[in-house]
Chains A and B, each alone.
Chain A
Amino acid sequence: MKMLKINNLHASVDDKKILKGINLEVNAGEVHAIMGPNGSGKSTLAEVIAGKEEFEIKKGNIYLEGEDLEEMAPEERAHKGIFLSFQYPVEIPGVSVTNFIRTAINESRKGRGMEDMPANEMLKLIREKSQLLDIDRKFLSRSLNEGFSGGEKKRNEIFQMAMMEPKLAILDETDSGLDIDALRIVANGVNKLRGKDNAIIVITHYQRLLEYIVPDFVHVLHDGKIVKSGSKELALELEEKGYDWIKQEAAV
């Protein structure tokens, strides 16, 4: 089953071309890593899939389980099962982690024509998932991302992902700002969520995270295009040689 299919995708912001013909297919049960130098368009790709409106799609299509996303608002895409773990999660003062995730889950259920999740079920889920990610209960009553350390922010993103059980999860540089212990906890959490019915795209600079979340495929993004795809060994090669050889190859 094709979870995600991207066809010749071109996207711009303020007439600046960022994505210049992306082709990508991700099947259910797979983990794909997208690597590439700064400014190659990795975060843009993630945000375009999630439906951020400041980007203009000039050409191409994105399909989730065969359904064209073009006309769908970001929240509708979320209701369909797309989850983006943000590189820079925003603060929402006065809104607790629990309140936020409860709202997110119930709004998503509403979007799918379901009733609110019963409170006891919600509490059970929160307990289970916070344990999975080694999250202190006190943490859950703090304002969303306000005063969180880099590591706490990322852990909170993965906690939300665990709560929402998405079909397609995109992790945008989830490893940045994490020390090695936190990295292990987060990766462990992600691995527990891997299954045959969902897919994960991991965006990262470094090979380090891929030691813990082992990808089925690795793609290299450069100047708005996927210039190379391969197995997990490609990540090691990149770590060793850097990105210059890719850039040169692409220039030929």
Chain B
Amino acid sequence: MAYTEEELKKELETKEYEYGFYTDIESDTLPKGLNEDIVIAISKKKEEPDWMTEWRLEAFRAWQKMEEPEWANVKYKKPDFQDISYYSAPNKKPKYNSLDEVDPELLDTFKKLGISVDEQKKLAGVAVDIVMDSVSVATTFKKTLAEKGIIFCSISEAIQEHPELVKKYIGSVVPKKDNFYAALNSAVFSDGSFCYIPKGVRCPMELSTYFRINQAGTGQFERTLVIAEEGSYVSYLEGCTAPMRDENQLHAAVVELIALDNAEIKYSTVQNWFPGDKEGKGGVFNFVTKRGLCEKNAKISWTQVETGSAVTWKYPSCILKGDNSIGEFYSIAVTNNFQQADTGTKMVHLGKNTRSTIISKGISAGQSQNSYRGLVQVNSRAENARNFSQCDSLLMGNRCGAHTFPYIEAKNKTAQIEHEATTSKIGEDQIFYCNQRGIDTEKAIALIVNGFSKEVLNKLPMEFAVEAQKLLEISLEGSVG
């Protein structure tokens, strides 16, 4: 069945859909706190095989011996890990009875982003009165993908249905003891996505709209595993431009990408978790470990637009293991008010003729702090490795901060590493120039910021790019007064 993305989009606008994953879980919330019993209970609830339970327990035991990292350039009150409930079934009861009860500010933002009324309801947690079509769009998607042999499902489902793949690859790129938050995630991950592209298959669609449907079902410890077999290609979109208000303060996700020989994975993220209010109260802590492994001639591109969260700690990385493999990182990080972001990448060159590109655009406004932290590491056997890094910072006002921490370790004499960095400020004269041409200050800032971010915005899939642009505008509203 020929189903274009355009048609799907239309259908999504007019139809309601099922969440899919969680429908069989009726149970409640586990008590607060974390110990081996809780880890076992989570695994049981999800009816996981023993090896998975054991894997989680190993992660938990490792985590217990680890300390929360402090090297990032962020300040926050550390979460009390015994005061968190690590498992809670999705809230099936709607939070509100109608849109009138929802925070008008939130609705305003939805409108600006051009989100349909039905989807607004879904995102805000409003009871939906339309009867769902029994054949969900998600199922249609799955059918198209299944014809190509592509597996795309929740990680819980994958553990049940494709244990051999999960067992082989989970923790192979981000080991369960990798770091404090990765270990925590490995022990208690709630759900997430699993994607497998068979040999030589080019995934026929951006895995985007689908994800948007499922986004509402993912929890605070998300786990994603993407496997691209030899010569395959996939473009994967994660996140949502709509503001996500979540009661969970701590989010610690793990994403692992595996690109086998000649495969390519394009992974795009738009992150817009609740950043806290204008006074800096509340907001999500987002501590993410994302890493991809490239085999021979493989390529992984990370593209991210980070506008949300009170504290972000995130370094999507590439292990360029195979010869001639390519790693790319394109990032826009916006911080406003009291947000703090410490984000960047690691490019580890192991194979010969490996190449990496890093383009990072940091935009700071209000009293926020925005740091780029990146490591380029060239191993002794990595002949002719090349890296180009460019880190640009844009400051708005004089109470925010932009920081750059580039680390370079080259152990092979043939390595070529270039690093460029700039810092600029949105000047009064730029604003006045725009004003004089009839462009008001809010619009002028949007124009300048979009211009500044263009190289990265261009890397996003078309439909996402337009939304991301609007998101940048909204994130910076009221930042120059």
Interface residues of A (CB under 8 A from B): 50-54, 73-75, 78-79, 82-84, 86, 89-90, 92-95, 99-100, 103-105, 107-108, 111, 143, 160, 164
Contacts and interface: CB of A to CB of B under 8 A. Distances in A.
Interface in B434-463: 434-441, 443, 447-448, 450-455
B453 A107 contact: no
A90 B427 contact: yes
Given A95-B450, A103-B443, A143-B451, A90 B437 contact: no
Nearest to A77: B436
Contacts of B440: 73, 75, 107
Given A51-B436, A84-B436, 7 more contacts: A90-B433, A94-B452, A95-B448, A103-B447, A107-B440, A108-B437, A111-B438
A139 to B, nearest CB: 17
B432 A74 contact: yes
A105 B448 CA distance: 17
Interface residues of B, number: 23
A164 B428 CA distance: 23
A55 to B, nearest CB: 11
Given A52-B432, A54-B428, A107-B443, A92 B451 contact: yes
A90 B436 CA distance: 12
B194 to A, nearest CB: 37
B437 A160 contact: yes
Contacts of B439: 75, 103-104, 107
A64 B131 CA distance: 59
Nearest to A85: B436
B116 interface: no
A-B residue pairs, 8 tightest by C-beta = A94-B451, A108-B438, A95-B451, A74-B435, A104-B437, A78-B438, A94-B454, A75-B435
Binding site secondary structure of chain B: helix
A78 B435 contact: yes
A93 B452 contact: yes
Nearest to A160: B437
Nearest to B439: A107
Most chain A CB within 10 A, of B447, B452, B454, is at: B447
23 contacts: A74-B432, A75-B438, A75-B440, A75-B441, A78-B436, A78-B437, A78-B438, A79-B438, A82-B436, A90-B429, A90-B433, A92-B430, A92-B433, A93-B451, A94-B450, A94-B453, A99-B447, A100-B447, A103-B443, A104-B439, A107-B437, A107-B440, A143-B451
B437 A164 contact: yes
A54 B427 CA distance: 13
A99 B448 CA distance: 11
B126 to A, nearest CB: 32
A82 B434 CA distance: 13
Nearest to B430: A90
A79 B443 CA distance: 15
A90 B430 CA distance: 6
Contacts of A111: 438
A78 B436 CA distance: 6
A53 B432 CA distance: 9
A115 B435 CA distance: 19
A53 B435 CA distance: 11
A184 to B, nearest CB: 26
A47 B37 CA distance: 72
A92 B451 CA distance: 7
A143 to B, nearest CB: 7
B427 A92 contact: no
Most chain A CB within 10 A, of B428, B429, B432, B452, is at: B432
Interface string B401-436: 000000000000000000000000001111011111
A160 B441 CA distance: 19
B454 to A, nearest CB: 4
A105 B455 CA distance: 25
Contacts of B438: 75, 78-79, 104-105, 107-108, 111, 164
A82 B436 CA distance: 8
B435 A95 contact: no
A95 B439 CA distance: 14
A84 B430 CA distance: 14
Contacts of A74: 432, 435-436
Most chain A CB within 10 A, of B427, B434, B438, is at: B438
A52 B436 CA distance: 9
B451 A73 contact: no
A79 B453 CA distance: 28
B65 to A, nearest CB: 47
A189 to B, nearest CB: 17
Most chain A CB within 10 A, of B433, B437, B439, B440, is at: B437
A90 B440 CA distance: 16
Contact of B435 (A73, A83, A89): A73
B433 A86 contact: yes
A50 B436 contact: yes
Contacts of B447: 92, 95, 99-100, 103
A246 to B, nearest CB: 30
A33 B132 CA distance: 71
A78 B428 CA distance: 17
Contacts of A54: 428
Contacts of A90: 427, 429-430, 433
